[in-house]
Amino acid sequence: MCNKDTRAVIIGGTQGLGLAIARQLAAEGSPVVVITGRDRKKGEHAVADLAKLGCEAHFIAADLGNVDECQAAIDKAGGLIGPLNALVNSAASCDRGTLLDTTPEVWAKLMDINARGPFFTMQAFVRQALEHRIAASIVNIVSMVIHCGQSYLAPYSASKAALANITKNTAQAHRRDRIRCNAIACGWMDTPGEDVTQKRFHDAPNDWLERAEAAQPFGQLVKPAQVAPLATYLLSPESGVLTGAIIDCDQNVAGAYPE
């Protein structure tokens, strides 16, 4: 469980899972949190939402596809709330593409936002922790598609698989600095972003969520509020020495076949 000593920054914290994690931090007693995103209006709304929970929140506008903005966001966050000891990389782009129709532009966009951006965000975060000689924890949000993914998610799957590897590499590299790095591989999740994606790329009707959930083993998609406590556990000292783990968080089991 996180506490009053947690100084967290959540990349992509203005909606969906990122905002759910910020809310969970507030519920567990973290007095302050920094969230980032591209949409200032959403950011201001999220800050107001967190304030109702008694949490002092700050919003920093940053595009994860821009390395300079990623690193500046970490520096600004540290300046606002003190040396950071918790980082969540939750922002992502979910553009579609198969092996045959993915353009170099789509490939570059997904790699920039889903892998390069988190890498350099983590770089700035770890440098700050080392400078202040503090223990710290990182949680990266990846996806079950790291195991394969649908054919129309070829570049997205590749970008998230890259982040999964970055997670393990960072965990190995900074164990003796007492900086932990873990990831959560989420399955199909009910978020505002997913609603946009379904309608944009799949012409989904307004009741797509109800139909999708009716077909799932547990009768629902993954819910952000159900994942958030796992993320805050991984951020907290209660998760002990746990590092380099990639935890599947889904109702479908990777490697299983129809019986």
CA atoms of 167 and 184, how far apart (whole Å): 10
Q: Please, which pLDDT band fits residue 1 given cuts at 50, 70 and 90?
A: low
pLDDT of residue 192: 86
- Where do the DSSP E strands lie in 43-144? 56-61, 86-89, 136-143
CA atoms of 232 and 197, how far apart (whole Å): 27
Residue 187's contacts (CB-CB under 8 Å, 6 or more residues apart) are 143, 144, 221, 222, 248, 249, 250, 251, 252
Query: Is residue 206 packed enough to be buried (19+ CB in 10 Å), middle (13-18) or exposed (0-12)?
Result: exposed
- Answer positive or negative: Cα dihedral of 62, 236, 54, 50: positive
Q: Please, which pLDDT band fits residue 61 given cuts at 50, 70 and 90?
A: very high
CA atoms of 173 and 43, how far apart (whole Å): 33
Question: Whole-model pTM?
Answer: 0.95
Inter-residue contact 176 to 194 (CB < 8 Å): no
pLDDT of residue 258: 82
| pLDDT digits 0-9 by tens, 113-160 | 999 999 999 999 999 999 999 999 999 999 999 999 999 999 999 999
Residue 245's contacts (CB-CB under 8 Å, 6 or more residues apart) are 182, 183, 234
Strand 8-11 with 86-89, pairing: parallel
| pLDDT digits 0-9 by tens, 2-30 | 677 899 999 999 999 999 999 999 999 99
Q: What average pLDDT score do residues 251-255 get?
A: 93
Strand 86-89 with 56-61, pairing: unpaired
Average model confidence (pLDDT) for the chain? 95
Of 1 and 169, more confident = 169
Coil/strand/helix, residue 181: strand
CA atoms of 158 and 111, how far apart (whole Å): 8
Is the pLDDT assigned to residue 251 strictly greater than 80?
Answer: yes
Percent of the chain with pLDDT over 70: 99
- Going from the C-alpha of 233 to that of each of 2, 77, 85, 162, the distances in angstroms are 7, 22, 14, 24
Percent of the chain with pLDDT over 90: 91
Q: What average pLDDT score do residues 67-93 get?
A: 95
List of domains in the chain = 8-187+222-248 (3.40.50.720)
Is the pLDDT assigned to residue 90 strictly greater than 80?
Answer: yes
Q: The tokens of 42 are what? A: 């959403």
| pLDDT digits 0-9 by tens, 173-216 | 999 999 999 999 999 999 888 888 889 889 889 999 999 999 99
